[in-house]
Homo-oligomer: A and B are copies of this chain.
């Protein structure tokens, strides 16, 4: 494990000074083609790799960005990561990744650590910290791009999906199918995203004078929690309506997949006995049996766009405080087997 070769080593070998090497390497400043070529050759031969740490210290640009995701287990976030990583790397930046679960304290701590790393900017997906950023985001002196979350701040930009509209589309579809007793399988922690989906569910029912009281919350968004929570949901429905729900709108696909599995254990078939709809359109949804009705979010593109936005912010003059942007996406409803082909009249009464 010997020391890495530095520009000084090259300078010594080439019989020039290090600044000259530095210039040659970066193709800056006019100099004789002969010496430049010689220096480049020597650098290659010696296996030189520029030390980005040292460079960052002097240029005040580390060419790195931080990405915070709140739950890497959810394939939704994998795609976000993939999009951000692809764009960022294509532009010569490196990516710091942290996965924080739902704990806002962890999230804030991670952001602080990124600041310590002197990243040029930060992307945060599905932030759980929301308002708690208010105090700090402006202070840290670098642009932030939020994905599917919101916070106030002059440096804070956002890329987000219109979850309210999306959830409305899902609810419209369920109501069009004739379902009336529609339950909601949500998440325990509250976030802007969750609020919008739940709100759309509630309002869609209320507008038609239907009962919007049957809902349960899973502690985390995993298939397993979907399985266990759907049992409570059915109980709740039986208590309220005397029957299982006719349809269940799930906060996301993982919970929906679990719900279908759990319902089967209860002897309830989807969609014959209960219809189920999810949210996100994970790749597997189209291949489940029954295939899952859900709302497709362009998650890879959202990751890409968030990164693109951040990089464009970085290219700008630092003093040209750009106005906070907010880019809004609309997903597409994917109607599949899990909500179709049954008229609710035939639904078995538990």
Residues of A within 8 A of B (CB): 1-4, 47, 49-54, 56-57, 62, 64, 67, 72-73, 75, 78-79, 81-82, 85-86, 89, 94-99, 110, 112-118, 139, 141-142, 155, 222-224, 227, 257-258, 260-261, 264, 283-284, 286-289, 318-319, 321
Contacts and interface: CB of A to CB of B under 8 A. Distances in A.
Given A85-B72, A117-B52, A283-B223, A94 B96 contact: yes
A98 B96 contact: no
B94 A81 contact: no
A298 B240 CA distance: 42
Contacts of A223: 283-284, 287
Contacts of A81: 72, 97, 99
Given A81-B72, A85-B72, A257-B287, A118 B1 contact: no
Given A73-B82, A96-B96, 12 more contacts: A1-B318, A1-B321, A3-B141, A50-B116, A51-B118, A72-B78, A78-B78, A85-B98, A95-B97, A260-B287, A284-B284, A288-B289
Contacts of A73: 78-79, 82, 283
Nearest to A253: B284
A62 B71 CA distance: 26
Nearest to A257: B287
Chain multiplicity (copies): 2
A187 to B, nearest CB: 17
Given A258-B287, A289-B288, A99 B116 contact: no
A101 B53 CA distance: 27
Given A113-B94, A261-B287, A53 B49 contact: no
A222 B283 contact: yes
A153 B79 CA distance: 34
9 contacts: A1-B141, A51-B118, A53-B53, A53-B56, A85-B98, A94-B113, A95-B97, A223-B287, A260-B287
Contacts of A258: 287
A49 B54 CA distance: 19
A112 B49 contact: yes
A56 B1 CA distance: 17
A113 B64 CA distance: 11
Q: Which of A2, A223, A264 has the most CB of B within 10 A?
A: A223
Contacts of A155: 1
Q: Which of A1, A57, A96, A321 has the most CB of B within 10 A?
A: A1
A141 B53 contact: no
